[in-house]
């Protein structure tokens, strides 16, 4: 993951990115509950005082990490939903990259595992993920469906959730639940079928 927070001073931007990188290592290694700011500082190669000068507490650090990841992915979604691109090509490109990120990005995959594991004890952390990553992504895709004459879905938001949910469910079942060994399936089959449902089975615009 490329950490690139938007800050005014390049030096502060670099220092914050350094701390977030250390935080990612610590959260992935120990989870949220067992993570410590001391070890975050050590992993980042900075003092504990420096960490606290940037983040008030562990929750603020985790929230910023989620927001940064979400910003990167939301920008990618926006870029892929280019209205000048042929819709079928744009959606297939989006599905391919989303599938790659969900299934084959080991760091993001492990981070989601931590988040799911901690969500019972720390529901606000899970809500942060939904608020900053899931919600904007669904809204952007739903708006694309609404504004593009190639689509005529009766419920664009529900269709956006179905599209993204299919990718997320496949990644969770095959990777997090080790379904690959029990019911193997190529990622391309999911992408091909979603493309078929979105373009060949959906009602056409009048």
The answer to whether 70 and 136 are in contact (CB under 8 A) is yes
Tokens of 81: 């939903």
Binning pLDDT at 50, 70 and 90, where does residue 180 land? very high
106-159: per-residue pLDDT in tens? 888 889 889 888 999 999 989 998 998 889 999 999 999 999 999 999 999 999
C-alpha closest to that of 179 among 191, 190, 164: 190
* Average pLDDT value for residue range 3-21: 74
69-95: per-residue pLDDT in tens? 888 887 777 777 877 889 999 999 999
Residue keyed to tokens 């901690």: 118
**Half-sphere CA count of 36, side-chain side, radius 13 A:** 4
Looking at the predicted structure, is the pLDDT value of residue 24 above 70? yes
- Full-model pTM: 0.83
């Amino acid at each position: 993951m490329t950490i690139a927070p938007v800050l005014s001073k390049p030096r502060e931007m670099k220092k914050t990115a350094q701390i977030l990188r250390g935080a990612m290592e610590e959260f992935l290694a120990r989870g949220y509950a067992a993570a410590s700011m001391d070890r975050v500082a050590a992993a980042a190669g900075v003092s504990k005082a420096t960490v606290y000068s940037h983040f008030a507490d562990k929750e603020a650090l985790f929230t910023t990490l989620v927001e940064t990841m979400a910003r990167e992915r939301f920008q990618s979604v926006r870029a892929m939903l280019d209205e000048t691109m042929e819709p079928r090509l744009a959606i297939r490109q989006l599905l391919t990259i989303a599938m790659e990120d969900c299934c084959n990005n080991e760091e993001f995959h492990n981070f989601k595992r931590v988040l799911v594991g901690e969500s019972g004890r720390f529901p606000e952390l899970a809500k942060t993920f939904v608020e900053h990553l899931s919600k904007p992504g669904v809204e952007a895709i739903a708006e694309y469906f609404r504004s593009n004459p190639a689509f005529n879905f009766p419920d664009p938001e529900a269709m956006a959730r179905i599209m993204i949910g299919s990718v997320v469910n496949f990644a969770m079942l095959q990777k997090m639940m080790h379904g690959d060994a029990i019911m193997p399936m190529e990622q391309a089959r999911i992408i091909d079928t979603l493309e078929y449902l979105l373009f060949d089975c959906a009602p056409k615009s009048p």
